[in-house]
Structure 1
């Protein structure tokens, strides 16, 4: 099985990548006859934009049980009401998870463990793209790195045992983490600094939108190591790029920048429907071949080319150790060791 890290690095320049993504790729839908009856799915950030559209598309394939995981109960309820109108036969629930809070993430995953008898699909879609530097008051990390990387990987790892144990026997759980083609454009300016993760919290080095690109590249780095601990027979984990889509991800912009963003989106952006279809492709259509893969344009693509260099591989190891240390309070390392141990026993 060949994942992204086993492919030769791509050195295509980003303008070429962008042009292919936006203008040369045709939308793909799930195979005819796809039936998600009896399946249970969780989507974070499903109250709006790509998350809402992905939820609607999953439900159109007869998904039986959907959990909308959001920070705001009111917004979640409003989204659930719309989806229930369109899909009255489905069980649609709103569960609260605040990606800025470790405590909220742990509470959410404990609820998954206790309240769900089955779990088939998780799509981690919630993300942040702030033009201003901000720190998370409880962790001290820069906010984009906190939400898009650290908290997302915490939630991902904490959900792995449930995805393994609550999916039907012989059928792996599915975990898709939303990523971005911009991850390929990041040069990782602090690549050689240690501690690596802490170097990304420096306000003097913060740049927009470079920090967003970096946060997505960090997911490449974490997945590089994660698949050494997770068997594709248990849970298939991959990253999905929806490409540049007409959404409100840059809603923090103002003035001319905001106008420019919306004009550019109108001219070049994919439809939300096409963007969300990439999530379904990664989480439903792709098989074990996509384990550990970055999926762009419905195809497995290499990771950021910097990661294939000696410096990149050293940084991967450093980030892995630092992330496990950061998340030691939640026993993330122990969870991964248990998955690895059971993987060996199963063989």
Structure 2
């Protein structure tokens, strides 16, 4: 069975006057989503990118896009440097945003990596969790006051939308529970526990967990916080780190069964600009709330896992900036 078609964005969605930040928006479906935001009238769009040169190229491409030039020629498009591998880079990014951005309507936590080998991040954690989850949480917490102020100014909620995946439902935590009394972060950081077959789905499951926990501490009348899956897409370059044989197999499957990238980009718009307060703390699949992907978190063992991880990761945040723990 194929994936459902993502319908066109409702015609009444107008992002005029809105400021949007998207991490990793210089390539793949994230780049296509930035174009969608601009065509819908976003006044200011900031790409948070690891490579300033590639960010500059993406900005130039967006401003030269015929549709953007026709409907939104006055848009301000910028690239801010951000390396999610490093908490310190996340801090510098947030400091720049707070200094240069007076209003923020949407934060899209999009950037990610696929890594089949174990690596430690510059901050000392296992790298894929650092990139997908921990630094994105740091940014979300740090920019939360700005999002709240903008919501009060607009008299409508702002958004944090986190790119996740339907594969989050196949996480390994239910089958291989982390022993009670042990550190969850330390377990995830341990190379002996690295399983490349499940690491991506585990990353995305933890992203959904963080969305739930953050949403529980923030009113949806201020900031709507959700996660979403763009779908299994036609080739976008995300598989470039895979072994050649595996990349070939997945690439062929994507060509025949993948959702077109424009459809994937519309899921970004839906989660970050269309979805209402009923999606707060929820995971969206095909633009619909999907509670099954996170059902394990409603079980006692899943709730315990969530509680333990949240306490540990908030302690991690407090070590970076003591003020962060009071924001959520």
Length-normalised TM-score, structure 2: 0.92
Q: Distance in 2 between matches of 1:325 and 1:335?
A: 10
Cα distance in 2 for residues equivalent to 1:104 and 1:196: 24
CA distance in 1, matches of 2:313, 2:59: 34
**Equivalence for 2:200:** 212
> Moved runs in structure 1, 4+ residues, more than 4 A?
none
What does the per-residue CA deviation read over 1:73-124, in whole Å, with 9 as the maximum and x for residues that have no partner?
1100111101001223211111111111111111111121121121111111
Structure 1 counterpart of 2:63:
84
Which residue number in structure 2 is paired with residue 116 of structure 1? Answer: 101
Structure 1 spans left out of the alignment, 5+ residues: 1-18, 340-347
Answering whether residue 238 of structure 2 is matched by residue 249 of structure 1, we say yes
CA RMSD of aligned residues (A): 1.6
Aligned pairs for 1:85-100 (under 5 A) are 85-86=64-65, 87=68, 88-100=73-85
Does residue 142 of the first structure (1) align with residue 126 of the second (2)? Answer: yes
* Partner residue in 1 for 2:8: 29
Cα 1:220–1:323 shift into 2, 3 Å: same
Provide the rounded CA distance (Å) in 1 between the counterparts of 2:247 and 2:194: 20
3-state DSSP of counterpart to 2:154: coil
1:270 to 259, 263, 274: 259
- After superposition, residues 114-193 of structure 1 pair within 5 angstroms as 114-136=99-121, 138-167=122-151, 168-188=153-173, 189-193=176-180
2:319 and 2:53 map into 1 onto residues whose CA distance is 31
Deviations 1:102-159 (A, max 9, x none): 11111111121121121111111100110111111x3321111111111111111112
User: In the TM superposition, what is the alpha-carbon distance from 1:210 to its structure 2 partner?
Assistant: 0.6
User: Residues of 2 paired with 1:338 and 1:182: CA distance?
Assistant: 30
- Distance (whole Å) between structure 2 residues aligned to residue 33 and residue 140 of structure 1: 45
Determine the structure 2 residue equivalent to 1:308: 298
- Single out whichever of 87-96 and 219-228 deviates more from structure 2: 219-228
Q: Match for 1:203 among 191, 202, 208?
A: 191
Q: How many residues align?
A: 316
TM-score in terms of structure 1 length: 0.87
Q: Structure 2: give runs of 5+ residues left out of the alignment.
A: none
Distance 1:210 1:149 in 2: 15
Q: How does 1:262-301 map to 2 (within 5 A)?
A: 262-301=251-290
